Amino acid sequence: MPKFAYKARNKNGTLVQGFLDGDDMANVKSKLAEQGLIPISVSSAKASMGLSLSLMFKKRVSPEEIVLFTKQFSTLFKAGMGMENILNTLAKQSKNPTMQETLSTIKNDIQQGSSLANAFGKHGKVFDDLYINMLSSGEEAGILEEVLFQLADVLEKDFAMRKGVKSAMLYPKIVIGVLVAATSVLMIMVVPKFKEIFDSLGAELPLPTKIMIWTSNFMTDYFFFLIMGAIGSKILFNKYYSTPKGRHLVDKLTFKIPVFGPLALKVANARFANILACLYRSGLPVTKALSITGATIGNDAFMRDVKILQSDVEKGHGIADTMRGLKYFSPVIVEATAIGEKTGSLDSMLTSIGEHYDMEINHTIKNLTTLLEPILLVIIFSMVAVFALAIFLPIWSMSGAMLK
């Protein structure tokens, strides 16, 4: 019996992918419906594998391109342009072949009577669940123009926040990278020269010099193994992080890193407030909005708190009351949510808190270099001092002995 690859959505709207045996595509769609799944696409498994291989070599669509596309999409739709013309215009304007092909496919699906959300939903690698669910709620409620504007706004804020954090991380990465490279060069190329001099003099070496020479010998003799060990450690870390337990532990520890931990927690709270406000304002039920928000936060530890929150809300508990018993929601966001629930203005309160955190994160990022400089300078000066002592202590000792 032929095998078919399928994409479908369950009752909660979650995207499900897999393979299923069937006589033909219609038979597979029928089987999916019996399982309570709504088929999005069904294709031959062989054709699907060929497509997957071709996608590996295609240029990816960056978050920046998605933000730009959404802003242009919103502007053209507001101007009254037809959907097919919008997609055709934006496909021609895009310089990314993958984006061009995606938009052309979406346009063809819409011409054949597909809804906007279903057409975009077939391209989960380009448009995530947040995007698709926002489009779906906008279509159903007849407020697509407003939803597109909100979507463009939240995506732009999220992209700016992520870009700011990456820029802040770049400085310490460069400094530490240069420090590691310089230390490696000194240990492998410079210290052996001094070792030859010390050996020729035959004097007793002080402890710092012995440690430095031992480290130099170890790095020189096992340089290849050290490189392979570093690569192997990276592979093992990635493999461990890909497991649910590993991802949860690493993401949990991320919040405890000095300087960067509090920043990561602020970013998670800001994303939660911005995305939940946008989804809730678009008309999605709060439980559905929480489900999508949790999946888009990007931190497993925070996501688990959101899942607990979603579960308790489904049982009839208040949002703020549940938040108070969870670990990662800040007191500010909890109290703002409580006020929003009481006054019936949850979306506006979350938006205000999101804006507050956006400003606070920008301020932290701007001052991050100032915060890190003393730490990095202490590390650099400590390395220089240790190296200088290890080199010059035996020289001073020998000079003193010669003078006597």
The CATH number of the domain holding residue 302 is: 1.20.81.30
Residue 226 placed within a domain: yes
Instruction: Decide if pLDDT at 16 tops 90.
Output: no
Structure confidence at residue 328 (pLDDT): 92
Q: Does residue 48 contact residue 28 with C-beta atoms inside 8 Å?
A: no
Residue 160: domain span: 142-404
Number of domains in the chain: 3
CA distance 188 to 347: 59
Give pLDDT tens digits for 344-401: 888 889 889 888 888 888 888 878 777 777 888 888 888 888 888 888 777 776 665 5
Residue 202 has pLDDT above 60, yes or no: yes
Q: What's the whole-number mean pLDDT along residues 272-301?
A: 86
Inter-helix orientation angle 300-314/286-296, to 10°: 170
What residues does 43 pair with on adjacent strands?
A: 5
Indicate if 238 and 98 belong to the same structural domain.
no
pLDDT over 80 at 255, yes or no:
yes
Identify whether the C-beta of residue 42 lies closer than 8 Å to the C-beta of residue 18: no
pLDDT value at residue 237: 92
- Check whether residue 77 and residue 225 sit in a common domain: no
Give the global pTM: 0.71
Coil vs helix vs strand at 234 = helix
- Position 132 confidence tier, pLDDT thresholds 50, 70, 90: confident
Q: In this structure, how many other beta carbons lie within 10 angstroms of the beta carbon of residue 236?
A: 10
pLDDT at 55: 46
Q: Report d(CA 90, CA 94) in Å as an integer.
A: 6
Is 137 a domain residue? no
Q: Closest Cα partner for 303 from 255, 356, 355, 361?
A: 255
pLDDT tens track for 24-78: 777 777 887 777 777 777 776 554 455 444 444 566 888 889 999 999 999 999 8
**Which string of b and e fits 116-153 if b means at least 16 CB within 10 Å?**
bbbbbbbbeebbbbbbbbbbbbbeeeebbebbbbbbbb
Say how far residue 23 (Cα) sits from the centre of its chain: 41
168 and 81 fall within a common domain: no
Please give, one letter per residue, the 3-state secondary structure of 118-148: HHHHCCCCCCCHHHHHHHHHHHHHCCHHHHH
Q: For residue range 80-113, what is the model confidence (pLDDT) as tens digits? A: 888 889 999 999 888 888 899 899 999 888 888 8
